[in-house]
Amino acid sequence: MKKYQFRLELQVRDYECDMQGVVNNAVYQNYLEHCRHEFIKTLGLDFAELAERGLNLVVIKSELEYKRSLRSGDRFWIGLILERISPLRYRFRQDVYLQPDDQLVLKGWVTGTGVNAKGRPQLPEEITAALAELS
């Protein structure tokens, strides 16, 4: 098992499942995004405050590798690792595991950057500092 910088536990809700009784593939994006947002809060960052300053954190690439399906009522957790991949880009490695026996459900990689009010790439100083601290 990898050493994750952050871990979030969740449970599948009925309305997240499709007609086959499994979590719809698009819902996993929501799970991963919620995990990233909770992690970013632990770094002391506030999305609303960044937006007021004209800085937005955006996803520029997502890659998901599905291993098995989650079903209604399943409890699961998401492990997250944040890494810097260039001066203006960072990547989240996020893995989803079914509880209680930690069966791998999904492997994901989400790449992001920051964009200023003029639409130009710019990482907020807080993100740059957090990335340096986590390295």
pLDDT bucket at 127, cuts 50 / 70 / 90: confident
Within 8 A by CB and 6+ apart from 99, the residues are 9, 74, 75, 76, 77
62 within some domain = yes
16 falls within a domain:
yes
Task: Please report, for the domain that includes residue 105, its CATH number.
Answer: 3.10.129.10
Return the number of other C-beta atoms located less than 10 Å from residue 16's C-beta: 18
96 within a domain of the structure (yes/no): yes
- pTM value is 0.93
- 18 has catalytic annotation: yes
Total domains in the fold of the chain = 1
pLDDT digit string (tens) for 11-59?
Answer: 999 999 999 999 999 999 999 999 999 999 998 888 889 989 999 999 9
In a domain, 41, yes or no: yes
Among the options 14, 18, 46, 101, which is catalytic?
18
Q: Range of 77's domain?
A: 6-134
Check whether 1 has a pLDDT greater than 70.
no
In a domain, 119, yes or no: yes
Q: Are 112 and 74 in contact (CB under 8 A)?
A: no
3-class secondary-structure state, position 126: helix
In a domain, 66, yes or no: yes
- Higher confidence at residue 133 or residue 61? 61
Task: Please report whether residue 130 resides in a domain.
Answer: yes
Q: Is residue 1 part of a domain?
A: no
